[in-house]
Structure 1
Amino acid sequence: MRCQLQTLARIVSVVRTTAGGRRPSSKAISRTMSTKSTGLMFQVKVNPLTGNSEWVVIEEDVDDVSPEPMLATTSYLDMLNDSPRNRAYRTAIDKTVSKHSHVLDIGSGTGLLSMMAARAMRNDDLKSSNGMVTACESYMPMVKLMKKVLRANNMNDKIRVFYKRSDELEVGVDIASRADVLVSEILDSELLGEGLIPTLQHAHDKLLVENYQTVPYRATTYGQLVESTYLWELHDLYNNEKNVADGIHLVPKGKESILRVKPQQFDMHCDALGEEIRLLSEPFKIFEFDFWKRPDSHGETQVHIKATDDGTVHAVISWWVLQLDEEGKIFYSTSPKWINSPLPNNGSPSSYSGTRDWCDHWKQCVWFTKGKGLPVCKDEDVCMDATHTDISISYEFNAQSQRSEVDHHELSTQDSHITLSPERIAIYGDNHWRLSMLKAINYALKGKESPLCIIADDSVFLSVAVAHVSKASHIISLFPGLGDKGSRYLQAVADENGYSMDRVQVINTRKRQLTMNDTHQNKVDLLIAEPFYFGAEGMLPWHGLQFWSKRTMLDSMLSEDVRIMPCKGILKACAMSLPDLWRSRRALENIEGFDHTMVNTTLGACGSSSECPCLPFYIWQCGETEKLSDTFTIMEFDFMKPLSSCQGKAKVEFTEAGVCHGFALWIDWVMDSSTNIVMSTGPDQRYWKQGVKLLAEPLKIVQPGKCSTVIEAYFDSSSGVLSVNSS
């Protein structure tokens, strides 16, 4: 075992890439890795209290699947509940595959497409098949699950399964000959992010015959110019900060890109923005990718777009349309619902059902226009350059007015750049949030002449704000996630915010424990956090309880009259009707004729034998939603005391008739109890994800006011796990 663990230590930073296999999802909290030399499989999980990654051994038995919902954080369940997708693939595979076919299924998942192909061979002229299906999947938990599904459907002797990426398959070694039909579904919301192009390139060169057939046949990306103040606020901190008169400059003039979002497309449920979006163009075609021929790694096109109204282009919203068959009669689209005809040439093939169901595995994508946006006039010709690499698509407007000051100062602040999520950029530009934080800071500093202040999270705002407000303070920023990047940032903006770095120190507590030597034997007067931990934005709200753990580790260093901000956290909840989300997470039964009931527990499905796990979602992007109760408190976390296990329960009184699908949960951070400064992360706040606890079965509320239920929560201080149950 020691040798095996040493092997793991050497490769711990290496994660299997997705060429030829579906990745768990960008939402996944855990990753899996195997070492074929040792025969072990490991899964990395994030410790909620430390933020550190920890590797744990998973059962080696390939034929066994964990009874725990270990794949609940992936997109597989949502994808398998997408009936239009499943129906489109089944119809196209039935048309394409014959009894003599050799089918290669890349990124097989549960084996659904492979089983469709094997069945299509038997259906061909109703005679037995002499074809074959080769399935490859690079994610071991899915390989184990797929084999279980194949056995349950009597397909295990008809499909050869390889635990490999497709670029690891060899003709003459793994498979006897090249395949003549390729089926795959390695697409993300942007289309290319799961390695579609390199996977197709390798398959074309090494695994497929010259004139192979493929399902899907083609994908086309489309876009539309939009104006939206909300989308602008998600990326332009510099211009939003101009409207805030608190004297703090997170992005000073000349350093506009020092805090920024990554220049990429961001997936988002754009239908949720509703009337907040003004359309400034008709939909336009951008790129076309043919699956039946070898794709290029790089492509460029110039698109001329006619503006349909006066306004400011804040973003490009894009989507794609999948043509699954060669004849062009079977389509699937990820277009927003305002697109009346998402099909090319306004076609109306019979197999397209119109408006697609809400699903979370494919959304639209948003590309932010630089700075304040691009002003346009009605009927103006807007020139846009589009570029794709082998994994992404980007845009640039060919207009002089689009060039912003960010471009001129890009190099001068390169070493100090911090890339944040769009939601974090919007929070830092929110006037109400900043004023509330500053009010709490001023109260905490009241009566402190030269306080020692520790910023216990990754908040650059708090570090700058305390240094700006209290000229005599000494500040230690822990920056557990930002580390040296945070230090360079504070140095870069010091002059514009009126502090010198001799008062500010960055000590990364992931590298070592803070001691009294670091404080020159002085006790801590002020311990504060938002809390915000870099890289944890997509996790459950109570991931912020890292703050409680750090406060506990520093307990012996705190002064008797220390002020702690936040002083407590309150776990809040609300009963919700979430029909779209529940449908996407419901237990699987028969999918296009194939039994999938055996995967429900592992995928964390609603209605399965195990409890539905709490998962992070932006409630406002979850399709149709409705509150069915008032907000209620389940339990409180007292940060004035060291970390401890705690529990709570609440009786939920339903105030509205409807169907309850579960509960939204979040934490309200009480910054200062005496002045009632509370930072809520509830569903009315768009910048934070909430936890969602779905019911095993929906509960119909006929008589509000006469119907109630009980919800309980338990926080385990040893593991950092918060469990929620309802009765």
Structure 2
Amino acid sequence: MTLTRDTAPAQDAVPAFDVAEFLAWGSDLHDQGRYEDAARAYRLILGVDRHNQEALLGHNRAVRHAVPRWHWEMLHDEERAERYDHAIRRAVTANPDALVLDIGAGSGLLAMMAARAGARGVVACEGQPSVAETAVEVVRTAGYDDTVRVVPKMSTRMTVPGDLPRRADLLVTEIVDCGLLGEGILGTIAHAREHLLAPDATIMPYRARVYAQLVESVPLHRKNHVGKLHGFDLAPFNRLSTLEYFDSRLHRHEHRTLSEPLRVFDFDFRTADASPQRTELRVRPTSAGRLHAIAFWFEMDLVPGVTLTNAPGVESHWKQAIQCLPVPPLVQPGDPVAVTALHDGRHVRFEVAPAEETA
């Protein structure tokens, strides 16, 4: 068998090979940013020498790049798990014969919750190869592999009846980031409604709202901007700062809120698509201050009466979304601030009019 360093391994079982060459190949793939291919290369080595320390470390390094660390914090988010479990039990009890589709299954937790609640058939899709492979083992270890089938692909590449025996009756998903839309929930659910779900399918979550608040916080602004330091003007480095949001726990940074929270978007996942939207707001500051950032978060309704949120003060693994302003304006209670909230179907962002335009 001849393989070049630009060729990804087609499978995890090959004839005898030179371990040193494959170690070098895996390292090359890793350096190229091809982390899944690197992980497969190292797995080939581990298939014949499961104690090879270089392969174990190389595989782990590749997986660490491919699998975000937030998975562990998410899995320990007890409120998230309890509310999804409650909502899933309600939905499955109402229709035990429902075929359940779990999109973005991760560890398989929500899929197994559906099986535990009595669902007779669950298909869990996961597009990240290493995560999907591990989910198969998790489901098998839990004893639900007779009910839960893991499909290692993105839901937008799934077909009926190729991957689903029929259109699903219950969709369960949690493909949201701190700003709600960043993992593509709008387009993913819209695609599922058209191609994978029965016309009267239950969609979980079925609604969500985005709230925003004006914030004064020098520490938060410093996470994304720099000026004169150590006798040098480092402002040109701000060309590399993020123009959109990053996640952070608001309560861990000294700050003052300069407005009441405002609802800026409302989504009904039973009908919404990924079409861009914009909302024009006139925000009345509640106190004077320097507007360094806009903090925003979501409320997400799983089923009626069961809601999840990452609002400030809630110990959610999602944290809050923070968008810093490049030039923070002064705001006054008597002068409304013109704020435009926009999303392109996947990213929420805000624009604040210059001070002279908000008077």
What TM-score range do you get, normalising by the shorter chain?
0.7 to 0.9
Do the aligned residues in 2 keep the contact of 1:217 with 1:324 (CA within 8 Å)?
Answer: yes
> Structure 2 counterpart of 1:39, which letter?
Q
Q: 1:261 to 1:67 in 2, by over 3 A?
A: closer
Aligned to 2:333: 378
Q: 1:286 to 1:175 in 2, by over 3 A?
A: same
The reply to whether residue 39 of structure 1 matches residue 36 of structure 2 is no
Q: 1:245 to 1:160 in 2, by over 3 A?
A: closer
Q: 1:180 to 1:376 in 2, by over 3 A?
A: same
The reply to whether residue 108 of structure 1 matches residue 105 of structure 2 is yes
The reply to whether residue 365 of structure 1 matches residue 321 of structure 2 is yes
1:159 to 137, 148, 153: 148
The reply to whether residue 396 of structure 1 matches residue 351 of structure 2 is yes
Deviation by residue 1:225-272 (Cα, 9 ceiling, x = unmatched) = 1111223334444xx33xx694x5444xxxx68734121101112211
Aligned to 2:190: 201
Higher helix content, 1 or 2: 2
Could you say which structure has the greater relative contact order, defined with CA pairs below 8 angstroms and 6 or more residues apart?
A: 2
1:292 to 249, 255, 270: 270
Do the aligned residues in 2 keep the contact of 1:374 with 1:401 (CA within 8 Å)?
Answer: no
Partner SS state of residue 230, structure 1: helix
Deviation by residue 1:288-338 (Cα, 9 ceiling, x = unmatched) = 22222242331111122221011121110111112111x2x111111111x
Partner SS state of residue 7, structure 2: helix
Which region of structure 1 is more displaced relative to structure 2, 98-107 or 52-61? 52-61
Do the aligned residues in 1 keep the contact of 2:249 with 2:319 (CA within 8 Å)?
Answer: yes
The reply to whether residue 78 of structure 1 matches residue 73 of structure 2 is yes
The reply to whether residue 149 of structure 1 matches residue 134 of structure 2 is no
User: What is the root-mean-square deviation in Å for CA atoms of aligned residues?
Assistant: 3.2
1:107 and 1:159 map into 2 onto residues whose CA distance is: 14
Partner SS state of residue 194, structure 2: helix
The reply to whether residue 387 of structure 1 matches residue 359 of structure 2 is no
Do the aligned residues in 2 keep the contact of 1:92 with 1:324 (CA within 8 Å)?
Answer: yes
1:120 and 1:245 map into 2 onto residues whose CA distance is: 60
How much has 1:158 moved relative to structure 2?
0.7
1:305 to 283, 302, 305: 283
Aligned to 1:677: none
2:217 and 2:164 map into 1 onto residues whose CA distance is: 52
Do the aligned residues in 1 keep the contact of 2:178 with 2:247 (CA within 8 Å)?
Answer: yes
> Structure 2 counterpart of 1:333, which letter?
T
2:230 and 2:74 map into 1 onto residues whose CA distance is: 46
> Structure 1 counterpart of 2:168, which letter?
A
Aligned to 2:299: 321
Partner SS state of residue 130, structure 2: helix
Write the mapping of 1:348-363 to structure 2, written as runs, cut at 5 A. Answer: 356-357=314-315, 361-363=317-319
Do the aligned residues in 2 keep the contact of 1:224 with 1:282 (CA within 8 Å)?
Answer: yes
Do the aligned residues in 2 keep the contact of 1:374 with 1:402 (CA within 8 Å)?
Answer: no
Deviation by residue 1:434-474 (Cα, 9 ceiling, x = unmatched) = xxxxxxxxxxxxxxxxxxxxxxxxxxxxxxxxxxxxxxxxx
Partner SS state of residue 145, structure 1: helix
The reply to whether residue 214 of structure 1 matches residue 203 of structure 2 is yes
Q: Which runs of 5+ in 1 are unaligned?
A: 9-34, 123-130, 338-355, 404-727
Partner SS state of residue 59, structure 1: helix
Q: 1:374 to 1:46 in 2, by over 3 A?
A: farther
> Structure 2 counterpart of 1:92, which letter?
A
1:369 and 1:401 map into 2 onto residues whose CA distance is: 16
Partner SS state of residue 279, structure 2: strand
Deviation by residue 1:64-120 (Cα, 9 ceiling, x = unmatched) = 9x9889466622221111110000000011111221211111111121111111222
Aligned residues: 329
How much has 1:201 moved relative to structure 2?
2.2
1:318 and 1:201 map into 2 onto residues whose CA distance is: 24
2:43 and 2:33 map into 1 onto residues whose CA distance is: 19
Do the aligned residues in 1 keep the contact of 2:274 with 2:346 (CA within 8 Å)?
Answer: no
The reply to whether residue 91 of structure 1 matches residue 67 of structure 2 is no
The reply to whether residue 180 of structure 1 matches residue 169 of structure 2 is yes
How much has 1:4 moved relative to structure 2?
6.2
Q: 1:86 to 1:235 in 2, by over 3 A?
A: closer
The reply to whether residue 269 of structure 1 matches residue 258 of structure 2 is no
**Structure with bigger gyration radius:** 1
Q: 1:333 to 1:67 in 2, by over 3 A?
A: farther
1:145 and 1:279 map into 2 onto residues whose CA distance is: 43
Partner SS state of residue 103, structure 1: strand
> Structure 2 counterpart of 1:388, which letter?
H
Partner SS state of residue 121, structure 1: coil
Partner SS state of residue 367, structure 1: strand
Q: 1:67 to 1:233 in 2, by over 3 A?
A: closer
TM-score, scaled relative to structure 1: 0.42
Q: 1:210 to 1:85 in 2, by over 3 A?
A: same
2:43 to 59, 62, 70: 59
1:362 and 1:258 map into 2 onto residues whose CA distance is: 26
